[in-house]
Chains A and B, each alone.
Chain A
């Protein structure tokens, strides 16, 4: 990613940065956010990941001044959101695309919000064109598909041309074309030096969109890392080996320091040794090898491993007794 242009934002240092500092949020007896700290920087698409109920939406609501934190703080550009004058020019956000009055047209919806922050009609027309909604601007939003509502929500977020943008689960319910469009849009916004903060519970989606990841579980920070680093460090690769003399080969590889697990189908899952080394060793002892496949478990798996201990709602085994465990 290119370096973010320094010119964006209004103040020095913290311009365009979202800072969450030891944030705690209780809802009655439930702790939604539990001492969370992180910073989101300009010029990147930052993915905000966590299982359902991890506290992503609550954190975003606190950043936007909608929920009042129990302790700690969330700042945008060094200020509390509620202290920003004409905040839509500083922070654009989309929390819930369905938050529309069905009797209002897309145009009226945008015009009212533009008016609230002293933004002119020309900008309303621009964001409608930008999101491809100009043809349906005069229609009531009641009849909009989820994809159109998402686009309208993004149009609202872009109204003030803000240096900071936040989106909560923006790809939920979008068709593949819409997902692709959003992905490219986020990358373009970040390339312009904006801060783009996107929550999702899907690792696969974020791997394609985000270049930095903040992963939380049960309201706590689990990882704050670049996507590339996360992929590299947490993806454990192994090599699948099949051989008619599997047990001999397993013994040999173990003797040379590899860890071997015998799979149900007789294949050997070898870790700690690369495919070439395995092949060389087998050849040296004249052990035939029928398959030698380096395997990369999916990024999704690495993410599931990381968040395994912090999932609130987990389904039972597919063929199990149907009970749900907390």
Chain B
């Protein structure tokens, strides 16, 4: 026939155990999502630009604090929270949008059907996407959190206000700041899977990770704190700044809030993904 390669092509490359172990299949699904994530170059560029903007902005903020004569005006700032002032707006939000796109870009192109024909177990698709994207976000978040911490403290120490990583609570706070990115990216990924349309899912994600908390600030006390402590911005602030403000959750409980939001959203996404026609 005209395509003799078809047959000869069969021998080794496709061979493998008839029923591979669960671990091998999980590894395949993870590899699938990892190749897809890194083969869209704009993902890496977005992360890089977000990180550089955040670093630049943090340096400017730190300089202004270092130059200030007394304690900074406004809220109860600490050398720790000063490290992460630009982080929420310039890293967490843009990178969470990338989390949204993990699902919505597949829905908008129709690629989701290719994905599910390759990995028909839909919970496995969700788990693999969440694991790969979440791990990448955690790595980016931690690297950036430590970079921002050291940068800010180096600048602040010029004004003799810096703290070192050995200060009590500092390592946990910096680690938690990195984790905040992971939690918010997973919220975006889950909302993307639920809503399926990019614009709507981005709006919902920014709403959940940012606006709901901001809205709570305008509530009359004590409701602003009572409701606000369940939102992601309040929880993130608590785990990073480690303030024991009356009415707010402890850093430990706030960490649970940070875990609960993506967990609930991802489970909802999984239930819907398993039921829906694609």
Chain A interface (Cβ < 8 Å from any Cβ of B): 10, 27, 61, 64-68, 81-89, 91, 93, 95-96, 98-105, 108-109, 111-113, 115-120, 122-123, 126-127, 129-130, 156, 158, 160-161, 184-185, 187-189, 191-192
Contacts and interface: CB of A to CB of B under 8 A. Distances in A.
Interface in B107-129: 109-111, 113-121
Interface in B185-224: none
B118 A113 contact: yes
A189 B29 contact: no
Q: Is the interface of B mostly helix, strand, loop or mixed?
A: helix
Which of B14, B18, B32 has its CB near the most chain A CB atoms (within 10 A)? Answer: B14
Contacts of B118: 87-88, 113, 116-117
Nearest to B3: A188
Contacts of B89: none
Nearest to A94: B114
Interface string B1-17: 11101110110111010
A4 B240 CA distance: 67
A66 B14 contact: no
Nearest to B41: A103
Nearest to B42: A103
Contacts of A67: 277-278
A111 B39 CA distance: 10
A99 B3 contact: no
A64 B122 CA distance: 13
Interface in B99-157: 105-106, 109-111, 113-121
Nearest to A129: B5
Nearest to B106: A101
Contacts of A156: 114
A156 B121 CA distance: 19
Interface in B147-171: none
* 7 closest cross-chain pairs (CB), A and B: A99-B110, A108-B39, A123-B13, A116-B32, A112-B35, A82-B120, A116-B118
B43 to A, nearest CB: 9
